[in-house]
Structure 1
Amino acid sequence: MAEFDEGLCACLSDLPSCLFVCFIPGGFCCLQAKAVDKATGEGLLVPYIFPCLTFCIGAAFNRGKIRNKYRIEGNFVTDCLIEWLCSLCAVTQEYREVNRREGKS
């Protein structure tokens, strides 16, 4: 198992995503849903609704899908803590990671 190649606190390396998550209402859920869909091909609706309704629990569930797809170390409890304490950085990290592994589009 590996770790995320993209750093958790490296959100400024992708400034447009960082600004989108910070200043657009619902941007957090949109960006994470896009990353999960690109990684798993499951669609946008469910990954969008999870963090909207259950915040860090749903976001952690989405993060787990990305971790499982790329065999990245971690667990649900750690994902919950990361999403609760540093959700904006976590979502941009997931988005950058998926774009790097799947090719940006």
Structure 2
Amino acid sequence: MADYESGFDANGDEYAPLDSPTERLIRSQHISDSQNPQAWSSGICACCDDMRSCCLGLWCPCILFGRNVEVLEGRPWTGPCLMHALLWSVAAGVGCSVTHGTLFGLLVSCVPCYACGYRKILRSKHNLEDAPCGDFLTHLCCHQCALCQEYREIYEKLNSNSGFSLVPPSNQTMEGHPIPAASHELPSQ
């Protein structure tokens, strides 16, 4: 039986015997990253910074939500958009018919339940700080503003220079012979 090195992680838990030093390093970096979350690129009330997302979030929040999910999960935006619209319309219909609109905000809470999960995915993916009131209350109290903030954050991350660049290798050789530069012309026959 092999002799494994024993150690403890940041939580004080003992490492499993199959943890490699690389796995321990990755886990310790993840723990330290989660302890230092980054600030959002814009505030929740900065909707007017991007008028396109502001108008879309105000009048068609289901489309903005679908677009956010499309980028986060890489699936078509139409499914989440339709689910958001269905939840919103059912909640609005029930809220208005049963309570004559007085408890509308409480019944619409199924929409923030659905949307706050994606806000949490966005925060964990980009190590963003949590709002003082949490993801659910952010969506319950300021649903359209939260969607706009998430949209701005997603596209800020997509458009920012991530420090990676694709540079082709300069000189490639094949068994000591240089490879000619790619030509757009087809060889003559």
Shorter-chain TM range is 0.7 to 0.9
Q: 1:39 aligns with which of 72, 97, 106?
A: 72
Long gaps (5+) in structure 1: none
How far residue 46 of structure 1 moved from its aligned partner, in angstroms, is 5.2
Structure that is richer in helix per residue: 1
Aligned to 2:126: 70
The TM-score, its normalising length taken from structure 2, stands at: 0.47
Q: How many residues align?
A: 100
**Cα 1:52/1:63, change in 2 over 3 Å:** farther
Structure with bigger gyration radius: 2
Over aligned residues, Cα RMSD in angstroms? Answer: 2.3
**2:51 paired residue number:** 15
Q: Whose relative contact order is higher, 1 or 2, with alpha carbons under 8 Å and at least 6 apart?
A: 1
Measured after TM superposition, the shift of residue 59 of structure 1 is: 0.9
d(CA) in 1 for partners of 2:139 and 2:51?
20
Q: Relative to 1, partners in 2 of residues 1:16 and 1:50: Cα closer, same or farther, differing over 3 Å?
A: closer
Rounded to whole Å, the distance in 1 between the matches of 2:150 and 2:117 is 12
Q: Which moved more, 1:44-53 or 1:57-66?
A: 44-53
Letter in 2 for 1:14: D
Q: Is there any run of 5+ residues in structure 2 with no aligned partner, and where?
A: 1-36, 88-109, 161-189
Which residue type is aligned with residue 58 of structure 1? Y
Q: Is the 8 A contact 2:47 2:148 kept in 1?
A: yes
- Normalised by the size of structure 1, how large is the TM-score? 0.80
- Aligned residues with identical type, % of pairs: 28
How far apart are 1:51 and its partner, in Å? 7.4
Alignment deviations for residues 28-73 of structure 1 (CA, whole Å, 9 cap, x no partner) = 1221221232133244255432575330101101111111111112
- Tell me what 1:95 maps to: 151
